[in-house]
Amino acid sequence: MMVARALLHKDKLEALKAWLDSRNHEHRPGNGPWQELQIKWGSGWQVIYSRASMPEHLSVPEPLVPFIKKFIRETREPQPPAGYTAEELEHDNPFNAWMRE
């Protein structure tokens, strides 16, 4: 089985659990020192692992990759396009021009 090794940062694990809870998606703690989380998937469980060689990222099994990508998309802070700051976008937005007058 293939795994994505740098998809999910360890700091996002609690947010992932909360996201799963908000969707009533079953999960449980992992078993042993390397299993961080088990997620119900189909008729079985998929395991998200931690690794000694890259402790800041978790290994996500291939069947969960699209699901975890959805979590990342839905919980990511919006970023301004490259080359712009959020303040520049706010100032350059024509809809906001009437507010500056």
For residue 95, pLDDT over 80 is answered with no
For residue 98, pLDDT over 80 is answered with no
- Collect all residues with Cβ–Cβ distance below 8 Å to 26 and sequence separation of at least 6: 20, 39, 40
Question: Which pLDDT does position 53 carry in this prediction?
Answer: 86
d(CA 6, CA 10): 10
Question: Which pLDDT does position 90 carry in this prediction?
Answer: 67
Mean pLDDT, the chain, integer: 86
When pLDDT is cut at 50, 70 and 90, the band that residue 52 belongs to is confident
Please give the span between the terminal C-alpha atoms of the chain, in angstroms, as a whole number.
60
| DSSP state at residue 29 | E
User: Model's pTM, two decimal places?
Assistant: 0.73
For residue 96, pLDDT over 60 is answered with no
